[in-house]
A = this chain, B = another copy of it.
């Protein structure tokens, strides 16, 4: 029962992505639509999975198929591995189902050895080229296959360049390169204790193994976790006949997009380098030329490339990101894929493709990653502050948005400072590499000295929606000594700078930012999403300001007001709640609550007004009371004086509130059962505010009162009774009646299990998936961070269940609760107000299990709207 693990490019197609990886599938597709693609084959992702199952060994069956494919490749190219007369050289590239910059990328020129290199020199009559290729191969192979640090070889290479007095790599003579190769091999033996492998088949075997191995390296694991790529997918390996961009001045290599990936503008966009191999462009070591100049340099090749680009965009019905090589004036396509782009570009392109008739609206909304919208909602500089801004340099506008922060020079330092509480840092690097990803994530922006629009920094920053200014050649970074200079001025760690990733401008000092709004293409696009989606999107908002912002971002209501957040808002409030806590009788407690009443009522009025008649879900006091207690002696003294207690008595009450496991302690509805007067005050505030705003005559108010942490119907019944009695009392006092609902959070597993009962009392459900996740897993969110790192490292978990809803376990409870709740009360409205409500994958799940709405933070409202629309396209529901 032999399985097919190896596919010639002629055997695959674009739909075989899962098996061949994105790169392999597209190489096959291009081959089959007749584009100039060097011949080759792909070792499938299943071979990778098998490699891990076999204890990190490539078994004989797979290697047999590789050899078979290689033989075919030799026949078809007419070249041979190891034959100096007519040598076959290949590239070896990783290629997973999704693009993964964190993995080993490429080995070029594989097949060279001390004999073949001489043959190649003779054959091409170009010893410089041959030894440059060999030099590169040794360097890459040593680095990515043998894990010898690059610096060992760079030092040798630099010494040889210096010896000849040249600066650029391509200026080094053939002799210099020969010497370099010789010294490389000595270094290799010195470090590895054995000779650099001469046998091409050994080189190939080791290279394939290295690609498979790289699937499990720490960078790849981090990248997968960030991008939700399952470990189980594995990577494919592409083995492809070499074509050479470094054969001289009629050769070159480049990358290009069919449209501008930053703006979405319809024009070929890219860069190329003469006499170079691919790595030179991506690495940002030499600054490449814009693709448009190719038209002058080689009009024929340019024309052919434009045709290829158009054909690919039409074929894939999406903007393409292509790699090509020109060998002695002949064009070869090495890769195509749907290009990564900024959110603004993604939207512009999606709208354009609909206008061009290539896509329907439904297809178009699938072209934008919901999380990407984040960048459009990102802060922009405040106009008035920007006026006074001093530009210190202008470079590539590599990733849009504005950022301001304190300068740091390493990713580690960025992480450290942010972990220590620093809110704003700007990462400044000579150039970035995959090791820097985590530092980039926590930064407000990234500034690099070297590299183009497709450099690592630019690509990654756009992907994550962070602002980035790249290739700022006027700055000079000294990471060691923690400073950079720019036109004579020195900036040290901790100094403020500001970046505009949309203009490429770098400003001196701090320029504060403000949020963006939804207009233009963005508004059109979101309109389409709203037309399509069935799932409503509400927001979590604790203040009128939050509610207003969310409303502007399209929130259709408030899904969660955390009333306790209001208590922290100002000294007077916290004082009143503290008086409530230390009260020694119900009367005193009610007195203290009476002070909070007008404040809460005022906040609710503001939120009702901001939402203009849309529903507002108000959750009653949730956290344990010890979160509010005074800590300092002065605070304790103040409360003691206000309440006529001794400081010792106040201290004693505070101490008595301490809990072993506060998460599972005296909080949520449990507080209202002990102190029904709290629920009374909150009901009075909710209802009185609703009456006041209703009487203003402009809007109808729809308060939904949400009782937290219910685990048993009797808890809900008890608190609901307090709510209803108080509401009736207020209605009687005011001579007016208003509709309101009383519902509950489903956040305790028991409530989810017994949802059929709970729905007898609850008029709505809202899943509190933060707590539901904590209790279903038995994970304390405040503590799990420590051991979850071990879980990731050991592949026990791949995702943080607090970031991405655990659809399998927690989701099972949710699905049950929705079904059981609606069996009791068919009209039961169900929503989610945990932080998962703004996570696209979780939004899709909520759509699939039939929730009525998701509620998320204001900035995630547009993301949830788009995710909801995409969910509807994938799995239409009525």
CB proximity of A793 to chain B, nearest CB, Å: 9
Within 8 A of B (CB), among A292-323: none
Contacts of A771 in B (CB 8 A): 778
A85 within 8 A of B: no
A711 within 8 A of B: yes
CB proximity of A70 to chain B, nearest CB, Å: 37
Contacts of A786 in B (CB 8 A): 666
Q: Mark A798-814, 1 if CB is under 8 A from B, else 0.
A: 00000000101110110
Contacts of A711 in B (CB 8 A): 776-779, 809
In the complex, the answer to whether A813 meets B778 with C-beta atoms within 8 Å is: no
CB proximity of A293 to chain B, nearest CB, Å: 53
CB proximity of A9 to chain B, nearest CB, Å: 37
Instruction: With A712-B796, A810-B750 as known contacts, state yes or no: A664 contacts B780, CB within 8 Å.
Output: yes
In the complex, the answer to whether B666 meets A783 with C-beta atoms within 8 Å is: yes
Within 8 A of B (CB), among A786-843: 786-787, 790-791, 794-797, 806, 808-810, 812-813
Neighbour of A780 across the interface among B665, B714, B791, B813, CB < 8 A: B665
Within 8 A of B (CB), among A165-179: none
Contacts of A790 in B (CB 8 A): 670, 673-674
Neighbour of A797 across the interface among B712, B782, B791, B812, CB < 8 A: B712
Contacts of A791 in B (CB 8 A): 673
CB proximity of A479 to chain B, nearest CB, Å: 30
CB proximity of A756 to chain B, nearest CB, Å: 11
Contacts of A754 in B (CB 8 A): 808-809, 812
Neighbour of A673 across the interface among B712, B777, B796, B812, CB < 8 A: B796
A663 within 8 A of B: yes
Considering the complex, give the chain B residue whose CB is closest to the CB of A675: B790
In the complex, the answer to whether A776 meets B797 with C-beta atoms within 8 Å is: no
Contacts of A750 in B (CB 8 A): 776-778, 806, 809-810
A68 within 8 A of B: no
A775 within 8 A of B: yes
Contacts of A660 in B (CB 8 A): 662-663, 780, 782-783
A237 within 8 A of B: no
In the complex, the answer to whether A673 meets B776 with C-beta atoms within 8 Å is: no
A661 within 8 A of B: yes
Contacts of A795 in B (CB 8 A): 714
A288 within 8 A of B: no
Neighbour of A775 across the interface among B775, B782, B787, B797, CB < 8 A: B775
Within 8 A of B (CB), among A687-715: 709, 711-712, 714-715
CB proximity of A768 to chain B, nearest CB, Å: 11
The distance in angstroms between the C-alpha atoms of A791 and B711, with both chains bound, is 13
CB proximity of A771 to chain B, nearest CB, Å: 7
The distance in angstroms between the C-alpha atoms of A783 and B787, with both chains bound, is 25
Residue among A665, A771, A810 with most chain B CB within 10 A: A665
Contacts of A797 in B (CB 8 A): 712, 714
Within 8 A of B (CB), among A745-774: 747-750, 753-754, 771, 774
A718 within 8 A of B: yes
Contacts of A670 in B (CB 8 A): 787, 790
CB proximity of A625 to chain B, nearest CB, Å: 11
Contacts of A809 in B (CB 8 A): 711-712, 750, 753-754
The distance in angstroms between the C-alpha atoms of A795 and B713, with both chains bound, is 12
A655 within 8 A of B: no
The distance in angstroms between the C-alpha atoms of A482 and B32, with both chains bound, is 102
Considering the complex, give the chain B residue whose CB is closest to the CB of A668: B778
The distance in angstroms between the C-alpha atoms of A715 and B791, with both chains bound, is 9
Neighbour of A796 across the interface among B714, B775, B813, CB < 8 A: B714
Contacts of A784 in B (CB 8 A): 664-665
Contacts of A749 in B (CB 8 A): 749, 775-776, 778, 813
Residue among A662, A776, A778, A812 with most chain B CB within 10 A: A778
A648 within 8 A of B: no
The distance in angstroms between the C-alpha atoms of A771 and B778, with both chains bound, is 9
A642 within 8 A of B: no
Question: Main SS of chain A's interface residues?
Answer: helix
In the complex, the answer to whether A778 meets B664 with C-beta atoms within 8 Å is: yes
A659 within 8 A of B: yes
The distance in angstroms between the C-alpha atoms of A163 and B797, with both chains bound, is 87
Contacts of A674 in B (CB 8 A): 787, 790
CB proximity of A78 to chain B, nearest CB, Å: 50
Contacts of A782 in B (CB 8 A): 659-661
The distance in angstroms between the C-alpha atoms of A787 and B715, with both chains bound, is 12
The distance in angstroms between the C-alpha atoms of A670 and B791, with both chains bound, is 8
The distance in angstroms between the C-alpha atoms of A748 and B786, with both chains bound, is 19
Considering the complex, give the chain B residue whose CB is closest to the CB of A719: B796
The distance in angstroms between the C-alpha atoms of A400 and B164, with both chains bound, is 107
Instruction: With A659-B783, A660-B782, A661-B664 as known contacts, state yes or no: A776 contacts B753, CB within 8 Å.
Output: yes
In the complex, the answer to whether B748 meets A796 with C-beta atoms within 8 Å is: no
In the complex, the answer to whether B718 meets A665 with C-beta atoms within 8 Å is: no
In the complex, the answer to whether A777 meets B796 with C-beta atoms within 8 Å is: no
Neighbour of A659 across the interface among B712, B778, B780, CB < 8 A: B780
CB proximity of A817 to chain B, nearest CB, Å: 12
Contacts of A794 in B (CB 8 A): 673, 718
Residue among A771, A790, A797 with most chain B CB within 10 A: A790
Considering the complex, give the chain B residue whose CB is closest to the CB of A711: B777
Contacts of A718 in B (CB 8 A): 794, 796
The distance in angstroms between the C-alpha atoms of A660 and B660, with both chains bound, is 8
CB proximity of A75 to chain B, nearest CB, Å: 45
Contacts of A808 in B (CB 8 A): 754
In the complex, the answer to whether A778 meets B709 with C-beta atoms within 8 Å is: yes
In the complex, the answer to whether A664 meets B774 with C-beta atoms within 8 Å is: yes
Contacts of A712 in B (CB 8 A): 796-797, 809
Contacts of A810 in B (CB 8 A): 750
Contacts of A777 in B (CB 8 A): 711, 748, 750
Contacts of A806 in B (CB 8 A): 750
Contacts of A714 in B (CB 8 A): 795-797
The distance in angstroms between the C-alpha atoms of A754 and B806, with both chains bound, is 12
Q: Mark A723-751, 1 if CB is under 8 A from B, else 0.
A: 00000000000000000000000011110
CB proximity of A716 to chain B, nearest CB, Å: 10
Contacts of A663 in B (CB 8 A): 660-661, 664, 778, 780
The distance in angstroms between the C-alpha atoms of A474 and B771, with both chains bound, is 62
Residue among A709, A794, A796 with most chain B CB within 10 A: A796
The distance in angstroms between the C-alpha atoms of A666 and B784, with both chains bound, is 7
The distance in angstroms between the C-alpha atoms of A776 and B782, with both chains bound, is 19
The distance in angstroms between the C-alpha atoms of A662 and B774, with both chains bound, is 12
Q: Mark A84-113, 1 if CB is under 8 A from B, else 0.
A: 000000000000000000000000000000
The distance in angstroms between the C-alpha atoms of A715 and B778, with both chains bound, is 13
The distance in angstroms between the C-alpha atoms of A780 and B662, with both chains bound, is 8
In the complex, the answer to whether B778 meets A748 with C-beta atoms within 8 Å is: yes
Contacts of A661 in B (CB 8 A): 661-664, 780, 782-783
CB proximity of A136 to chain B, nearest CB, Å: 40
Neighbour of A664 across the interface among B747, B783, B813, CB < 8 A: B783
The distance in angstroms between the C-alpha atoms of A718 and B808, with both chains bound, is 19
The distance in angstroms between the C-alpha atoms of A444 and B665, with both chains bound, is 32
Contacts of A659 in B (CB 8 A): 780, 782-783
The distance in angstroms between the C-alpha atoms of A778 and B794, with both chains bound, is 29
The distance in angstroms between the C-alpha atoms of A779 and B787, with both chains bound, is 23
The distance in angstroms between the C-alpha atoms of A754 and B774, with both chains bound, is 16
Considering the complex, give the chain B residue whose CB is closest to the CB of A670: B787
Contacts of A673 in B (CB 8 A): 787, 790-791, 794, 796
The distance in angstroms between the C-alpha atoms of A67 and B546, with both chains bound, is 66
Identify the 8 closest CB pairs spanning chains A and B, nearest first.
A661-B780, A664-B780, A660-B782, A750-B809, A665-B783, A748-B778, A659-B783, A749-B749
Q: What are 26 A-to-B residue pairs whose CB atoms are below 8 Å?
A: A660-B780, A660-B783, A661-B661, A661-B663, A663-B664, A664-B774, A664-B775, A666-B786, A666-B787, A670-B790, A673-B790, A673-B796, A711-B779, A714-B796, A714-B797, A748-B777, A749-B778, A749-B813, A750-B776, A750-B777, A750-B778, A753-B813, A754-B808, A754-B809, A754-B812, A775-B778
